[in-house]
Amino acid sequence: MGERSMPSGAFASTIPIADLRHRASVPRVPDRPAPATGRLTDRLGRPLRDLRISVTDRCNFRCSYCMPKDVFDRDYAFLPQSSLLSFEEITRLARMFVGHGVRKIRLTGGEPTLRRHLETLVGMLAELRTVEGEPLDLTLTTNGSVLTKKAQALADAGLKRITVSLDALDDTIFRAMNDVDFPVADVLAGIDAALAAGLAPLKVNMVVKRGTNDGEIVPMARWFRENYGAAVVLRFIEYMDVGETNGWRMDHVLPSAAVIDRLADVFPLEPLDAHYGGETAERWRYVDGGGEIGVVSSVTQAFCRDCNRARLSTEGKLYLCLFATQGHDLRHLLREARASDEQIGGVLAEIWAQRGDRYSELRGAGKPQADGGARKVEMHYIGG
């Protein structure tokens, strides 16, 4: 597709993007595929434990840090249904990832609840078992806009947990950030529906953009602490340089350390240990026992050295980093090459074994990237 050209009379601030849906290589099938032992590691010794699966590239919000309206407008060509992986294809690939050590699957988007009959996919994935014979940690990230309708069906199908994105409690700020005039009250109703369905503890993610919604940090903490206690864990995420369309600048980033300072001035905090290796959030507990919060410092304190996540796009391309510039076309192996499970599993093993991605760590150290400045894939396409 190449660059999107600006229409006649468009403002210079419109950001052209490269369509990275077509920037992927077809992996070579190894002559002797590696067996699935559950002990796969990459070049830096990082195991494969977490798989993020994007089930749609569409979203009903137009948040400026992910899908700004001046790029993702009514003329933007989203993927046709025929390009998307079917539920059977997703489950087949997921089974192979699980064989190599994946224990957690997160469904993302775009907005994943826009994918029709998503609960059917959840039910299929819920039947998978880890190499140890345990059920998967099956989770979903959503903007919460349709949870009042979907939460119970998703829980009944086998979804374990849910994360809701919510960037402000102030309705004016929230409507401006989602840029489709969606009210915060409807997201809060979705959170209540998810908790009622048993999807707890529930996480709420707030992307903090300095000068836009950083005044909401303390009000958000107070609201969730007073109304939900330990049932909801609020996490503050540094505004990231994901993709090429969000106009990211470092001066828009409020470091997590500053977020903790603001909160600690009002609610004394103490640090908590990580739940597991590779956890992205740094955990803190309210000293008075009022629950916990987390911060994700992906810009100021890179956690690449423990990253154990792979990402599968909605049309079947594998990405090894949120900041990747190129993917690996697994859909080709499924549909055109008609590769066997053993062959595809061997491809996954070879790709992961060669992985050395540590974008944020290199950026933080001021070192040049190996991609030569190539455009990064968009967040809505591979999920956060």
Helix (H), strand (E) at residue 372: none
Average pLDDT, the chain: 87
Does 334 reside within a domain? Answer: yes
Task: Give the model's pLDDT for residue 51.
Answer: 97
Residue 155 has pLDDT above 50, yes or no: yes
What confidence category does residue 272 fall into, taking pLDDT thresholds of 50, 70 and 90? very high
| 191 or 245, higher pLDDT | 191
CA-closest candidate to residue 227, choices 204, 250, 251, 244: 204
What confidence category does residue 23 fall into, taking pLDDT thresholds of 50, 70 and 90? low
CA-closest candidate to residue 330, choices 77, 54, 28, 120: 28
Mean pLDDT across 45-73: 93
Task: Give the model's pLDDT for residue 9.
Answer: 32
Task: Give the model's pLDDT for residue 225.
Answer: 96
Return the CA Rg of the chain: 20
Does 35 reside within a domain? Answer: yes
Does 347 reside within a domain? Answer: yes
Q: Phi-psi bin for 381: left (phi > 0), alpha (psi -120 to 50), beta? A: alpha
What confidence category does residue 273 fall into, taking pLDDT thresholds of 50, 70 and 90? confident
Q: Which domain CATH number covers 337?
A: 3.20.20.70
Task: Give the model's pLDDT for residue 246.
Answer: 56
Does 315 reside within a domain? Answer: yes
| 376 or 167, higher pLDDT | 167
Does 214 reside within a domain? Answer: no
Task: Give the model's pLDDT for residue 370.
Answer: 53
Does 332 reside within a domain? Answer: yes
Phi and psi for 162 in degrees, rounded to 5?
A: -145, 145
Looking at the chain, the whole-number percentage of residues with pLDDT higher than 90 is: 72
Task: Give the model's pLDDT for residue 362.
Answer: 61
| 119 or 68, higher pLDDT | 119
CA-closest candidate to residue 195, choices 157, 223, 163, 217: 163
Mean pLDDT across 374-384: 66
Task: Give the model's pLDDT for residue 235.
Answer: 97
Q: Which two tokens stand for residue 63?
A: 């948040």
Alpha helical stretches, state H, the chain: 87-99, 118-126, 147-157, 171-178, 184-196, 217-228, 256-264, 330-335, 341-353, 359-364, 379-382
Domain membership of residue 112 as a residue range: 28-202+310-382
Does 116 reside within a domain? Answer: yes
pTM over 0.95: no
288-333 residue pLDDT tens? 999 999 999 877 776 678 899 999 999 999 999 887 778 999 999 9
Task: Give the model's pLDDT for residue 324.
Answer: 78
Residue 241 has pLDDT above 80, yes or no: no
Task: Give the model's pLDDT for residue 14.
Answer: 33
Residue 361 has pLDDT above 80, yes or no: no
How many domains are contained in the chain? 1
Mean pLDDT across 346-367: 78
Residue 212 and residue 177 in contact, taking contact as beta carbons nearer than 8 Å = yes
| 366 or 310, higher pLDDT | 310
Mean pLDDT across 369-376: 56
Q: Which two tokens stand for residue 380?
A: 């809505």
Question: Which residue type, as a one-letter code, is found at position 24?
Answer: A
**Counting Cβ atoms within 10 Å, is residue 163 exposed (0-12), middle (13-18) or buried (19+)?**
buried
Mean pLDDT across 79-101: 97
CA 280 to chain centre: 11
Residue 109 has pLDDT above 60, yes or no: yes
185-211 residue pLDDT tens? 999 999 999 999 999 889 999 999 999
CA-closest candidate to residue 72, choices 106, 115, 111, 23: 111
Does 94 reside within a domain? Answer: yes
Mean pLDDT across 120-136: 97
Task: Give the model's pLDDT for residue 190.
Answer: 98
Residue 364 has pLDDT above 60, yes or no: no
